[in-house]
Amino acid sequence: MAIRIAERFMGPPGSGQGGYTCGLVAAEIGVPVAEVSLRSPPPLERELAVLRSGDVVAVMDGETLVAEGRPATLELEVPEPVDVDVATAASKAGERLWTAEHPFGTCFVCGPGREPGDGYRLVPGELPGRPGTFAAVWTPDESVAEDGAVRRECVWAALDCPTAAPVTPFGTGMTAVLARLTARLDAPVSPGEPHVVVSWGLGVEGRKRHGAAALFTAAGELLAESRALWIELRG
């Protein structure tokens, strides 16, 4: 078995977007809730071997361990959803700083350098009156869908970057990368329809930063949720 990350699904320059990569690994595990840890930058456009040992799946680039996944549990206190207009306003309010300070403009999910439709261009913005809670609007393009629903790895992608916003604030000169993502997808996600991603912080321990996200329909139905560990880069 092998997986391959197409260049379109880039995160930082030259490597796969973390959530998308984790979603590919989760598909190999085949359970409702999976936890995937990234051990090295996922290379693009190469066949990566998938090795299985019991419930654990490892993805290898030759002798290099790229990712490791396993079944997990996920229990979160999910905040109340907001409507699309509120999320849009929050996103627009944070757009200038997001664009100016973004460390990875190439990112498939949140990179301001990606064209609409090619990338998601998610811009989480803090919600007025709800300090530490962020929201963004995501309207999935038909190109990430199959048989009328967004591919699961592409939903995992959307559950990644927004978790960073509450715990890696722009304007501080600090950059962090995804180390682990745990997610549960409860219902199919429809392409071409606006959805709201709400994200919030779970705590900071030194260089470790913990965030979470939930994906809702425009009507407020919970579709998926995630918990992420980010590691602050030294220097």
What would the mean pLDDT of 152-170 be, rounded to a whole number?
92
Question: 12-61 pLDDT, tens per residue?
Answer: 999 999 999 999 999 999 999 999 999 999 999 999 999 999 999 999 99
What would the mean pLDDT of 148-164 be, rounded to a whole number?
97
pLDDT above 60: residue 171? no
Domains of the chain (ranges, CATH numbers): 2-71 (3.10.129.10), 84-232 (3.10.129.10)
How would residue 176 be classed by pLDDT, with cut points 50, 70 and 90? confident
Say if residues 108 and 68 touch (Cβ distance below 8 Å): no
pTM across the whole model: 0.95
CA pair distance 16, 23, nearest whole angstrom: 11
Q: Are strands 64-71 and 125-126 parallel, antiparallel or unpaired?
A: unpaired
Q: pLDDT averaged over the chain? A: 93
What would the mean pLDDT of 112-136 be, rounded to a whole number?
93
Question: 200-212 pLDDT, tens per residue?
Answer: 999 999 899 999 9
What would the mean pLDDT of 69-76 be, rounded to a whole number?
97
